[in-house]
Amino acid sequence: MKLCMIGTGYVGLVSGVCFADLGNEVICVDKDLNKIKNLKRGIIPIYEPGLEELTKKNFKSGRLKFTTNLSDAVKRSQIIFICVGTPTKKNGNAADLSQVFNVAKEVSYDIKNFKILITKSTVPVTTGDKIEKILLKKVKKKNFSIVSNPEFLREGEAIRDFNFPDRIVIGTSDKKSNKIMKSLYAPLISKGAKYLNTSRRGAELIKYASNAFLATKISFINELANLSEKIGVNIEDVSIGMGLDKRIGGRFLRAGPAYGGSCFPKDTRAIADTAKLFKTDLSIIKSVIKSNKNRSVILLKRVSKILKNKIKNKKITFLGVTFKANTDDMRESSSLTMIPYLLKKGAKIKYYDPSGYKKEFEKFKNVTFAKNIKSSCEGADLIIIHTEWNDFKSLNFKSLSKKRNVIIYDMRNILSPEKIKKDKISYFAIGK
Ligand code: UGA
């Protein structure tokens, strides 16, 4: 099939490359000429394991093309995916849809025969209806169909998630579009993915509801971890014990720092905002947003307690600063709240992250990027494991720190407390 992905950000690029790998002809469009030039040379703008190889392979085969020419790409394609950003508006919690609507307008000039226009970006309920209105100004009704097809890819696992999705959600009441979408996804359906055809608004809501529910699971277990710490219970046992009940499920029950990234924080805010427009109180989601904001406050209080309220001049090392492992993404990472707070209290911070230097900390004095784990830990009073990179799972902290009384605060519960205690290192974890 002939597809075009508008926007080569996270969603557009991963989906475009993976669709090409399934044998489709895919044109990826972006306004950013530099990005397109780089992509043609195999330089990938995001950090995603396996994506570079897959991009090069499909580009070489000719199935995958990159261009800045939107009009030409639209004319050549039958299925057009809108994959541009939908960030939170500067003032407020609503999603900023200006990029989506601009694309809809631009595309409308080039549709002369039947094409399917799909929102793959996360868009609030009723966005499809608004795009349809924009299209109707220029295009005959019979020549287009607006479909919602939300993506459920996780950063760092995106290629696997694309190829083995739990479900494919297609929001349309148009039978012809549904048939085309089903055949586009046939290779994944035959491998076991469930296919759900629902209304367009239904699909739009499923995306937000899913992210909000996962965020709720995380906040729920994080709050229980607070209780576990007080009553001497291991939160990991609680997660396992709960998760074994199939109705609950064990995934997304890992207690840790505040959830971050480009999706959960933004999408929980946006769905709460949509609900407000429709005069509905999503009180659970609002509580989750509040609980997650408070999460860093709670963990910082514990840091303070661990250091006996003497943060000034303490050398604190952050192992990992990204919002999760296997990504270089810093968006809404809890390290962006924690590090500035500790600096304000007079701490000296060193950090190491396998994804490299972070410009986000440039503006602060007393923050140093260490080029390797060894130099980041040298002389540290406290080592905070902030992100669960594999690189940190089997380190010998005793020889790394060279300090007799180094303390470790393992915010991801990745180390074995028994092993650490054998090394006579003070060890603190989450929910134990
Ligand atoms: C999330 C969803 O998982 C994807 O299904 C969705 O497609 C994507 O958002 C999106 O809307 O585009 P992502 O933001 O890449 O994916 O990251 P997750 O792996 O979901 O992690 C989000 C946050 O939750 C991270 O800060 C992570 O550390 C935290 N988390 C996750 C926990 O604290 N505990 C867990 O058990 C799981």
Q: What CATH number did the domain enclosing 214 receive?
A: 1.10.1040.10
Cβ pair 63, 39 in contact under 8 A: no
What average pLDDT is seen over the chain?
96
Q: pLDDT band for position 50 (50/70/90)? A: very high
Atom of ligand 1 nearest to the CA of 254: 36
Same domain for 35 and 144? yes
* Contact of 214 with 250, CB cutoff 8 Å: no
* 190 lies in the same domain as 245: no
The answer to whether residue 9 is domain-embedded is yes
> Which residue's alpha carbon is nearest to atom 12 within ligand 1?
263
Ligand 1 atom with the smallest distance to the CA of 252 is: 36
C-alpha 188 – ligand 1 centre gap (Å):
22
- Choose which residue among 10, 152, 154 to substitute to test ligand 1 binding: the one with the highest number of ligand atoms within 8 A of its C-beta: 154
The tokens describing 256, both together, are 């840790």
**Is residue 31 located within the same domain as residue 92?**
yes
Whether residue 56 has its Cβ less than 6 Å from ligand 1? no
Residues in the chain: 432
User: Per-residue confidence at 419, pLDDT binned at 50, 70, 90?
Assistant: confident
What's the pLDDT at 204? Answer: 97
The last residue of one of the domains, among 258, 293, 328, is 293
Atom of ligand 1 lying closest to residue 333 CA? 26
The reply to whether 158 and 49 lie within a common domain is yes
Query: Where a domain ends, among 263, 293, 323?
Result: 293
Has residue 116 been placed in a domain? yes
pLDDT band for position 83 (cuts 50, 70, 90)? very high
Asked whether residue 278 falls in the same domain as residue 302, the answer is: no
CATH code, domain carrying 15: 3.40.50.720
268 touches ligand 1 (CB under 6 Å): no
Catalytic residues: 263
Summarize the confidence of residues 19-29 as an average pLDDT.
98
Q: Per the structure block, which two tokens stand in for 288?
A: 């989750």
- Domain total in the chain: 3
Domain boundary among 153, 170, 198: 198
In a domain, 147, yes or no: yes
- Mark whether 170 and 21 lie in a shared domain: yes
Same domain, 160 and 246: no
Alpha carbon of 154 to ligand 1 centroid (Å): 6
- Report residue 125: phi and psi, to 5°: -55, 135
The predicted model gives 222-230 an average pLDDT of 98
Residue 404 has pLDDT above 90, yes or no: no
Q: Mean pLDDT across the stretch 25-44? A: 97
Residue 219 belongs to a domain? yes
What's the confidence (pLDDT) of residue 67? 98
Say yes or no to pLDDT of 424 above 90: no
Tell me, yes or no, whether 271 and 192 share the same domain: no
Tell me the residue range of the domain where 255 lies: 208-293
C-alpha of 113 from chain center: 36
Percent of the chain's residues with pLDDT above 90 = 93
Supply the angle between the helices 200-231 and 127-136 in degrees, to the nearest 10. 150
- Ligand 1 atom closest to 259 (CA): 26
When pLDDT is averaged across residues 223-234 and rounded to a whole number, the result is: 97
Q: Using the atom order of ligand 1, give the atom closest to the CA of residue 324.
A: 28
Q: What's the sign of the alpha-carbon dihedral 12, 14, 19, 23?
A: positive
Residue 260: per-residue pLDDT: 98
pLDDT of residue 91: 86
Given a cut of 80, is residue 403 above it in pLDDT? no
311 and 245 in one domain? no
For the Cβ of 331 lying below 6 angstroms from any atom of ligand 1, the answer is: no
Lowest mean pLDDT among 14-18, 119-123, 244-248: 119-123
pTM of this structure: 0.96
User: Ligand 1 center to residue 83 CA distance, Å?
Assistant: 19
Residue 397 confidence (pLDDT): 86
Tell whether 203 is covered by a domain: no
Q: Is the pLDDT score of 159 beyond 80?
A: yes
Residue 52, pLDDT above cutoff 80:
yes
Average pLDDT over residues 176-200: 98
Query: What's the rounded Cα separation, in Å, for the pair 357 and 379?
Result: 20
Query: 3-class DSSP state for residue 11?
Result: helix
Is 51 a residue whose pLDDT tops 80? yes
Distance CA 195, CA 396 (A): 47
> Does residue 367 belong to any structural domain of this protein?
yes
Task: Say whether both 392 and 416 belong to one domain.
Answer: yes
Distance (angstroms) between ligand 1 centre and the Cα of 113 equals 39
Find the mean pLDDT for residues 8-28: 97
Residue type, position 68, single letter: T
* Ligand 1 mutation pick, 161, 211, 329, max ligand atoms within 8 A of CB: 211
Average pLDDT over residues 301-327: 97
Round to whole Å and give the CA distance between 147 and 198: 10
Strand partners, 367: 349
62: left (phi over 0), alpha (psi -120 to 50) or beta: left
Q: Is the CB of 212 under 6 A from ligand 1?
A: no
Tell me what the mean pLDDT of segment 43-68 comes to. Answer: 96
Q: How far is ligand 1, taken at its centre, from the CA of residue 332, in Å?
A: 12
Q: Using a 6 Å cutoff on CB, does residue 264 contact ligand 1?
A: yes
Task: Say how many Å lie between the CA of residue 60 and the centre of ligand 1.
Answer: 32
Look up residue 184 and give its two tokens. Answer: 């586009």
pLDDT 10s digits, 274-293? 999 999 999 999 999 999 99
pLDDT at 163: 97
SS3 call for 208 = helix
CA of 321 to the centre of ligand 1 (A): 15
How, if at all, do strands 426-429 and 407-410 pair? parallel
∠ Cα 397 400 404 (to 5°)? 75
Distance, in Å, from the CA atom of 164 to the CA atom of 412, rounded to the nearest integer, reads 26
> Is residue 429 over pLDDT 80?
yes
Residue from 214, 242, 254 whose mutation best tests the ligand 1 pocket (most atoms within 8 A of CB): 214
Q: Is pLDDT at 400 greater than 90 in this prediction? A: no
Alpha-carbon span 260 to 102, nearest angstrom: 28
What was the pLDDT predicted at 177? 98
Q: Check if 208 has its Cβ closer than 6 Å to any atom of ligand 1.
A: no
The finding on whether 10 has its CB within 6 A of some atom of ligand 1 is: no
Reduced to 3 states, what is the DSSP secondary structure of residue 119? Answer: strand
Please state whether 86 falls in left (phi above 0), alpha (psi between -120 and 50) or beta.
beta
pLDDT at 261 over 80: yes
Pocket test for ligand 1, best of 252, 322, 334, 410 (most atoms within 8 A of CB): 252
Determine the atom of ligand 1 nearest the C-alpha atom of 210.
Answer: 5
Does residue 319 fall inside a structural domain?
Answer: yes
Q: Which residue has the higher pLDDT, 75 or 121?
A: 75
Taking CA 51 as the corner, what is the angle to CA 46 and CA 54, rounded to the nearest 5 degrees? 145
164 and 226 in a single domain? The answer is no
Give pLDDT, residue 402. 75
Atom in ligand 1 nearest the alpha carbon of residue 151: 7
Residue 190 has pLDDT above 80, yes or no: yes
Q: Where residue 321 falls among pLDDT bands split at 50, 70, 90?
A: very high
31 has a pLDDT exceeding 90: yes
- Confidence (pLDDT) at 305: 97
| CB within 8 Å of 389: residues ≥ 6 apart | 319, 320, 325, 326, 353, 354
Taking CA atoms only, the protein residue closest to ligand 1 atom 3 is 154
Q: Are residues 194 and 227 in the same domain?
A: no
Q: What is the pLDDT of residue 62?
A: 97
What distance in angstroms lies between residue 131's CA and the mean position of ligand 1's atoms?
Answer: 28
pLDDT confidence of residue 398: 79
